[in-house]
């Protein structure tokens, strides 16, 4: 079995001077054929599938805005829509569904959905944070609809996956873990440790200070990702991967390098091998430097295919903070030991 991927670049979903733009993928696209993975065709998600997560009235309103008022800004992030954005967002969600189904059905070993617009900030009742539909949340619910009983989502985009958390706060079939930058003024402002006291071990947030990088993330993977997966025993792991936690991303202040991203991708692939026969699907979220997106996507393919290692060496120039006590606080809150 092999690794598969979908590619939904949405060239007409763009807005002047906006960081979430088609050019994010410009260095990745020419490298796609060099990875030992097969492109599979994307089919648009249906309205019924979008309704696994989103309020149908909100979806209809969004469609009308795209048809009648676009281009325009629809929230303060700012999130924008163009006349093609509704169809682009259906195709992006479909790109994730296609990957997840191939892995659940056993047609593929694992997968990577390279799609935009991204999804993890979109809440059931509103688009938010450059995101229209919550692609990964829709795929998680779709996997349940196809017979799975437990799906875990791990989000290591630089930002809190507030939309995914909102979708699954009260759904005990889905576990969610987000590790993200947290601090004054940092978007979206949610994702503190104690946000879901009714869902300990199932809704897990690891808020990190600026400049946390490879060493901190390795601690988080070993001391939080691992017991989270061990406790929940998912049958499928979905990864919200954003390359905006790279130290040179223009809109964040974290400290991962490409080697750190490779370490993380390998760790979650190994966790999936341990609990669910390696069934894992990576889903692209943010990442606003096109070189980091290309290098970061390569780390996902290397981890999924076992292909040659990356030659990229771009360590963060900044000193990392010591986050041991923060990580211990997270472990204690959830009772991970
Ligand atoms: Zn992000």
In the block, tokens 């905006």 appear at 244
CB 264 within 8 A of CB 239: no
- Ion ligand 1: residues, CB within 5 A, are 157-159, 242, 244, 286
Tens of pLDDT, residue by residue, the chain (337 residues)? 899 999 999 999 999 999 999 999 999 999 999 999 999 999 999 999 999 999 999 999 999 999 999 999 999 899 999 999 999 999 999 999 999 999 999 999 999 999 999 999 999 999 999 999 999 999 999 999 999 999 999 999 999 999 999 999 999 999 999 999 999 899 999 999 999 999 999 999 999 999 999 999 999 999 999 999 999 999 999 999 999 999 999 999 999 999 999 999 999 999 999 999 999 999 999 999 999 999 999 999 999 999 887 779 999 999 999 999 999 999 999 999 8
Best CA proximity match to 85, nearest among 76, 74, 101, 77: 74
Distance CA 132, CA 186 (A): 20
Distance CA 318, CA 129 (A): 27
Instruction: Return the ∠ at Cα 33 (arms to 295 and 300), rounded to 5°.
Output: 35
Distance 232 CA to ligand 1 centre (A): 25
Residue 156: φ, ψ to 5° = -115, 30
DSSP character string of 91-148: HHHHHHHHHHHHHHTTSSSEEEEEESS--TT-BTTB-BTTBSS-HHHHHHHHHHHTT-
Distance 250 CA to ligand 1 centre (A): 11
CB 120 within 8 A of CB 50: no
Best CA proximity match to 45, nearest among 5, 12, 8: 8
Using alpha carbons, list the distances in angstroms from residue 302 to 17, 216, 289. Answer: 32, 22, 20
Assigned token pair, 256 = 């991962």
In the block, tokens 């935009």 appear at 116
Distance 287 CA to ligand 1 centre (A): 6
- Kindly list the catalytic residues: 121
CB 99 within 8 A of CB 112: yes
Crossing angle of helices 258-276 and 290-305, rounded to 10° = 30
CB 128 within 8 A of CB 21: no
Distance CA 194, CA 186 (A): 18
Distance CA 5, CA 146 (A): 20
- Residues paired with 7 in a beta bridge: 114
Assigned token pair, 96 = 């994730």
Distance CA 229, CA 247 (A): 27
Q: What is the pLDDT of residue 310?
A: 76
Distance 106 CA to ligand 1 centre (A): 30
99-131 b/e with 16+ CB inside 10 Å = b? Answer: bbbbbbeeebbbbbbbbbbbbbbbbbebbbbbb
Q: Taking the CB of residue 38, how many other CB atoms lie within 10 A of it?
A: 12
What residues contact 267, with CB distance under 8 A and at least 6 apart? Answer: 218, 221, 222, 225
Distance 231 CA to ligand 1 centre (A): 27
Distance CA 194, CA 332 (A): 11
């Amino acid at each position: 079995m092999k690794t598969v991927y979908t590619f939904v670049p949405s060239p007409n979903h763009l807005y002047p001077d906006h960081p979430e733009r088609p050019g994010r993928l410009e260095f990745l696209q020419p490298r796609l054929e060099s990875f030992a993975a097969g492109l599979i065709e994307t089919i648009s998600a249906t309205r019924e599938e979008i309704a696994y997560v989103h309020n149908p009235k909100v979806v209809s309103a969004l469609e009308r805005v795209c048809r009648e008022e676009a281009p325009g800004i629809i929230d303060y992030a700012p999130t924008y829509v163009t006349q093609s954005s509704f169809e682009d967002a259906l195709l992006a969600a479909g790109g994730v569904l296609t990957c997840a189904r191939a892995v659940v059905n056993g047609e593929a070993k694992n997968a990577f959905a390279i799609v935009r617009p991204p999804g993890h900030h979109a809440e059931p009742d509103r688009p938010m944070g450059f995101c229209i539909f919550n692609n990964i949340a829709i795929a998680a619910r779709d996997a349940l609809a196809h017979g799975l009983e437990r799906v875990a989502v791990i989000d290591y985009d630089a930002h809190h996956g507030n939309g995914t958390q909102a979708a699954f706060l009260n759904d005990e079939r889905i576990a969610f873990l987000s590790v993200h930058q947290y601090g004054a003024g940092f978007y979206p402002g949610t994702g503190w440790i104690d946000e879901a006291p009714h869902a300990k071990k199932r809704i897990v947030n690891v808020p990190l200070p600026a400049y946390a990088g490879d060493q901190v993330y390795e601690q988080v993977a070993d001391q939080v990702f691992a017991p989270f997966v061990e406790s929940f025993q998912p049958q499928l792991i979905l990864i919200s991967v954003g390359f905006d936690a790279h130290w040179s991303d223009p809109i964040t202040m974290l400290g991962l390098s490409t080697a750190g991203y490779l370490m993380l991708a390998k760790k979650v692939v190994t966790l999936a091998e341990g609990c669910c026969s390696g069934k894992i699907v990576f889903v692209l979220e943010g990442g606003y430097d096109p070189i980091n997106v290309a290098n970061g996507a390569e780390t996902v393919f290397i981890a999924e295919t076992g292909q040659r290692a990356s030659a990229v060496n771009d360590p963060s120039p900044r000193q990392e903070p010591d986050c041991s006590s923060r990580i211990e606080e997270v472990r204690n809150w959830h009772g991970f030991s």
